[in-house]
Amino acid sequence: MDYQLSQSGQTAHVEVTRLPTGDPLPALIELEKELADQNLRRIELFFSEGVSPPVDRLTHAGYQESGSERFFKSVHYQPSVRFSITEKCNYACFFCHEEGMEMGKARAAAQQEQLFDVLRQFHELNYQDFTFTGGEPLLNPNKIVACLDYMESIGYLPDITFVSNGLALTEKLLARLQAYPGKMRFNISMHSLEEHAYNQIVQDIQKPNAPLRHNEHRRVKENLLKLQTAGIPFKLNFVLLKGLNTSDEAIQAVLDYALQLGATRIKFLELLLTKELNHLYGYFYRLDALRERLSDQLTLTERSFRRDVYRYADTPLELEFQHCTCARGCNTCTVNRDANFTAELKYFPCFLHSDEDFDLKTVALEQAIAQGDQKIQRMAQYYGDDSPIIVRNHYLTQEEQFYYYLASSSAIEQLKRKLSLEERLERRRDFNEIYLTLVGQAGDDFSTVYKLSRNSYDQHALEIEQAYSFDPLKPGLVTTHFSGESQKVIDPDLYLKQLAEHGYEQRLNLNWSIFFYRLQWSSSVRQSELSISHNPESGLFFVRSDTPLDDEQLKPMTEPLASYISTRMRLA
């Protein structure tokens, strides 16, 4: 991408004179990173005559349109580091993503002088945002103090954050933290104000034979009061867990508590689901669903790649809705991630690939980061707007074509083994579909349907109209035609009641679990997609593929899935 740059204050004025061939997003991300390194905090982008703005990619990169084909965005990227100071933790949260690393694996801590050398290199590279994590970082207070002493001795005074459950905070450590001459804050995990739910989340589900019984919940709240008295700002981290802490009462309780306590923010986070944590899908609850519930009490104050920040009602409390680093896709990672390293001085470029690291005892930090960036660029070429996390937005197109097959449970297991599907899981989606028809229009014909579709993690539903057609010359090939834009239904239950008043009835109610797989892993070859769907009401399995499958155990579908299921259930 060619451009001309001028600046006024901390604003960069960029005239794009030529766009690159192919996707312009990598060039936009690289531009943002370069300008951020120059301490510029706003980009105003416009295009030379004859250069058409790539609006969709600008939107994905976080730009907003200001009129006359001009775009702007605030630059929030700054070099940040996360130091996992210990793998040990005094809790056992069942959803723990372990900072993208193997926390259960014991580490041999590096010598103190080697650690100090890495801290010195972060100072030289101007990393001014430093986070201590774990495990639980407060379990290693001596190393924390040693790090602070050394950093102060060389004039390295970054903004420091502790991500902690707060249980192990002591008066001695608190006094040392108060003496730090730079900025310091805490992010304290408080996933529920109800003690039983809190204990379930942080220990009892994962370790039912070793439940919490020592007033941990009360002790954490006491330590929060100590932080307040010490004048150290803190925010509350709250991972949304469907069925455990997402009720209206649970959300209101944490809002009221934060206001009473004087917390600066509540950070709401989505459950991170990877292939390893796929079994936790039932707990997933979307940030957008909570945002919709609170929308009339929120005023937007800040927007960046990973987070939106709102003022809550007429109060000083801020609510932060933060997505996982990976939620924006691998192709934005270079301006969206931290430098992660551990007590054994292993640097991990990718949050979700703990099997690839650099040993900072033998490799210079700057070299490790540069090579890590190259790895991220390769992942960006492969994943694009996606990433290895398995919950992503579901998009509807105007028309799509796939091959559909009926399969027995044994055929599914054989297919998984044959294609090594378990290691190729891309994402998962659980949802409910309610098929509607006017009263009196019975039958099993679902070639044209009107339905409400609702993801398990959403409050709202989508109103969808679609039709199916089949190619008799290509067994199993189904073309799905979508009628216009799908409309969002904020209150599905109320909407169904209103439809009933207008003569509609629920004709079929189906639940689905769908697992999506990617079959080809070469970036030079078109990747093939395959998914396996299971409907628990009928017990049936279906396979969907973008290419025909030659397997005698798979029966090509010749009618819509809903028609087949309806007939089977009626005749059962």
pLDDT in tens, 15-27: 999 999 989 998 9
Same domain, residue pair 216 and 160? yes
pLDDT per residue as tens digits for the range 292-331: 999 999 999 988 777 899 999 999 999 999 987 777 788 8
> Mean pLDDT lowest for which of 244-258, 394-408, 444-458, 491-505?
394-408
Same domain for 96 and 48, yes or no, is no
In a domain, 487, yes or no: yes
* Average pLDDT of the chain to the nearest whole number: 89
Residue 68 CB neighbours (<10 A): 6
Confidence of residue 85 (pLDDT cuts 50, 70, 90): very high
Most confidently modeled of 24-38, 97-111, 120-134?
120-134
Residue with tokens 């929120």: 298
91 has a pLDDT exceeding 90: yes
Q: pLDDT category, 519, cuts 50, 70, 90?
A: confident
- pLDDT-based confidence at 397, cuts 50/70/90? low
Give per-residue pLDDT as tens, 265-274. Answer: 999 999 887 7
Which is nearest to 377 in space by CA: 23, 1, 3, 19?
23
Task: Mark whether 67 and 109 lie in a shared domain.
Answer: no
Residue 216: inside a domain: yes
Q: Are residues 158 and 96 in the same domain?
A: yes
Who has greater pLDDT, 459 or 432?
A: 432
Q: Where are the alpha helices (DSSP H) in 387-540?
A: 409-419, 492-501
272 found inside a domain: yes
Residue reference for tokens 């003690």: 195
pLDDT at position 501 is 85
The domain boundary residue, chosen from 357, 383, 409: 383
Tell me: pLDDT of 381 over 90.
no
pLDDT value at residue 523? 47
Note whether 124 and 265 are same-domain residues: yes
Q: What percent of the chain has pLDDT over 90?
A: 63
Q: Say yes or no: 508 and 369 in one domain.
A: no
CA 8 → CA 5, 43, 394, distances in Å? Answer: 10, 11, 41
User: Are 104 and 191 in the same domain?
Assistant: yes
User: Which of 54, 74, 94 is the last residue in one of the domains?
Assistant: 74
CA distance 388 to 335: 18
**CATH code, 35:** 3.40.630.60
Q: Does residue 436 carry a pLDDT above 80?
A: yes
Question: Domain count of the chain?
Answer: 3
Task: Using alpha carbons, select from 357, 345, 349 the residue that is nearest to residue 333.
Answer: 349
pLDDT of residue 441: 61
Say if 391 falls within a structural domain.
Answer: no
Q: Which residue has the higher pLDDT, 11 or 444?
A: 11
Note the pLDDT of residue 563.
Answer: 93
- pLDDT value of position 109: 85
Q: Angle at the Cα of 406 (from 401 to 407), degrees rounded to 5?
A: 130
Q: What is the mean pLDDT of residues 172-192?
A: 97
Looking at residue 453, its pLDDT comes to: 94
- What number is the average pLDDT over the span 218-230? 97
Tell me if 393 is assigned to some domain. Answer: no
Same domain, 68 and 88: no
What CATH number has the domain bearing residue 149? 3.20.20.70
Query: 348, 383, 418: which is the final residue of a domain?
Result: 383
CATH number for the domain harbouring residue 518: 2.40.320.10
Return the residue matching tokens 């602070």.
148
* 104 and 188 in a common domain: yes
**Domain span at residue 67?**
2-74
- Structural domain contains residue 414: yes
More confident residue, 152 or 102: 152
Q: Is 439 found in the same domain as 304?
A: no
Asked whether residue 126 is domain-assigned, the answer is yes
- Listed as own residue / partner, the contacts of 301-309 with beta carbons closer than 8 Å and 24 or more positions apart are 302/74, 303/62, 303/74, 304/62, 304/74, 304/76, 305/62, 305/76, 305/77, 305/332, 305/335, 305/336, 306/336, 309/265
Give the largest Cα separation in the chain, rounded. 82
* pLDDT in the model for residue 572: 66
**pLDDT at site 99:** 56
Residue 352 predicted with pLDDT over 90: no
pLDDT beyond 90 at 363: yes
Cα 230 from Cα 170, distance rounded (Å): 12
- Which residues, 6 or more positions from 548, have their beta carbon under 8 angstroms from its beta carbon? 403, 474, 475, 476, 477
Residue 392 forms part of a structural domain: no
Each residue's pLDDT tens digit, 130-155: 999 999 999 999 999 999 999 999 99
Is residue 253 pLDDT above 50, yes or no?
A: yes
pLDDT at 527: 66
Q: How much is the pLDDT for 429?
A: 93
What's the full length of the chain, in residues? 572
Quick check: 482 pLDDT over 70?
Answer: yes
Query: Which one is predicted more confidently, 100 or 529?
Result: 529
Quick one: 509 and 525 in the same domain?
A: yes
Global pTM reads 0.79
CB of 471 closer than 8 Å to CB of 499: no
Amino acid 525: pLDDT: 47
Least confident of 347-361, 365-379, 534-548, 557-571: 347-361
Tell me: do 373 and 301 sit in the same domain. Answer: yes
pLDDT tens figures, 525-546: 456 889 999 999 999 999 999 9
